[in-house]
Amino acid sequence: MGNVNVLDYPISTISCEHENNDHRVFHVDREVYSDSIKIPLSLSGISKSYGSHLVLGDIDLQIPAGKSISIIGASGSGKSTLLRIMANIELPTSGQIRWWGNDSRILGSTDRRLGMVFQDANLLPWANVLQNVALPLRLQGMPKAIAMKASFEILEVVGLHQKDKLFPRELSGGMKMRVSIARAIVTKPNLLFMDEPFGALDEITREQLNDDMLRIREELGVTIVLVTHSIQEAVYMGDMVLVLKANPGRVSEIIELPKAFDFWRNSDDYRISDAYFNNVRIVSQALRKWSER
């Protein structure tokens, strides 16, 4: 056992399995973290059971600020359950969640705002695009004129400012998901959870939205935690990929892709680069290995 540096904070691990200039792969043991940097989300001893069925088992994890984290795993590994627990939508059976070093119930201050994008857009059918996006602000009690102005500005960010008067029935699947994303980020969250939001979309739309989310991340400085079934999407979106194994769900490997975002930002097409294909191969091998156990 020894200390190695992963995303600028020390964790206790067994020896590094892969290492080169593009990535490092570690088996995960109980982790010991430094308090010297800002950690927006930490999990300690998280378990989740439904009756006698243990879905998640003793998960320790910390999410560094400003990173994009992808979570993948075989069906039944508890990916969405873990995300819902992270977002405080579902309570763990045991363990502790801390946001920004505080109890998970303490939210709402300037630097403690969460956003959530679900698998379905879940838009209000009787409200137009602008009204749907403004909903979280109106529920917070923001005056209508201010909420509408802020919502229109967010629609510009997701490229839908010219669709603000349309209703959900008039939108494509990709447009609906853009509205859902706009609604999630209109409160300017600095911790955004995404539960397979692009799974039902065609490949071209999915790639466009992946690019949009990386751009939004850069513009807003938001930390993103994404659950996905797609290895390609996990690699493209993530600075770090968490691989879950099932029965019960546990974080089996952390795969660091420290240069992925810089490559995306400075490259015309990261998707056809050797670095991207190599990272896809590494993550694919890890997923296959832990899915077979």
Average pLDDT, the chain: 80
| Cα–Cα distance, 9 to 21 (Å, whole number) | 18
- From 93-107, 163-177, 245-259, 274-288, the region with the lowest mean pLDDT: 93-107
CATH of the domain at 209: 3.40.50.300
Residue 74 reports pLDDT greater than 80:
yes
Do residues 194 and 55 both lie within one domain? yes
Tell me the percentage of the chain whose pLDDT exceeds 70: 79
Contact present, 130 and 164 (Cβ < 8 Å): yes
Helix axes 173-185, 129-139, angle to 10 degrees: 20
Q: What is the pLDDT of residue 214?
A: 87
Compute CA 277 distance to the chain's CA centroid, rounded to the nearest angstrom. 21
Segment 114-127 shows an average pLDDT of 92
| Cα–Cα distance, 188 to 181 (Å, whole number) | 11
Tokens of residue 20, six digits: 């080169």
Contact present, 196 and 80 (Cβ < 8 Å): yes
Segment 94-113 shows an average pLDDT of 68
The tens digit of pLDDT for each residue in 11-47 reads 222 233 444 444 444 333 333 333 334 778 889 999 9
Long-range contacts of 109-112 (CB under 8 A, 24+ apart): 111/190, 112/190
Do residues 198 and 84 both lie within one domain? yes
Q: Which position has the higher pLDDT, 56 or 103? A: 56
Domain stops at, among 188, 211, 229: 188
Tokens of residue 2, six digits: 């020894």
Q: Print burial letters for 144-155: b (CB count within 10 Å at least 16), e (below 16).
A: eeebbebbbebb
Domain stops at, among 188, 223, 244: 188
In a domain, 135, yes or no: yes
Domain that holds residue 134: 124-188
Residue 168 reports pLDDT greater than 90:
yes
Angular region, 103: left φ>0, alpha ψ -120 to 50, beta rest: beta
Q: Which position has the higher pLDDT, 81 or 29? A: 81
Domain stops at, among 141, 161, 188: 188
Segment 163-180 shows an average pLDDT of 94
The tens digit of pLDDT for each residue in 181-199 reads 999 999 988 889 999 999 8
Binned at pLDDT 50, 70 and 90, residue 293 comes out as low
Segment 92-97 shows an average pLDDT of 90
Do residues 92 and 31 both lie within one domain? yes
Q: Structure pTM?
A: 0.81
Segment 100-107 shows an average pLDDT of 61
The tens digit of pLDDT for each residue in 243-275 reads 998 888 899 888 988 666 666 666 667 788 888
In a domain, 163, yes or no: yes
Phi, psi torsion values for 267, nearest 5 degrees = -115, 145
Q: What is the pLDDT of residue 13?
A: 29
Q: For residue 187, which of 139, 227, 225 has the smallest C-alpha distance?
A: 139
The tens digit of pLDDT for each residue in 224-240 reads 999 999 999 999 999 89
Q: What is the pLDDT of residue 266?
A: 63
Q: How many structural domains does the chain have?
A: 2
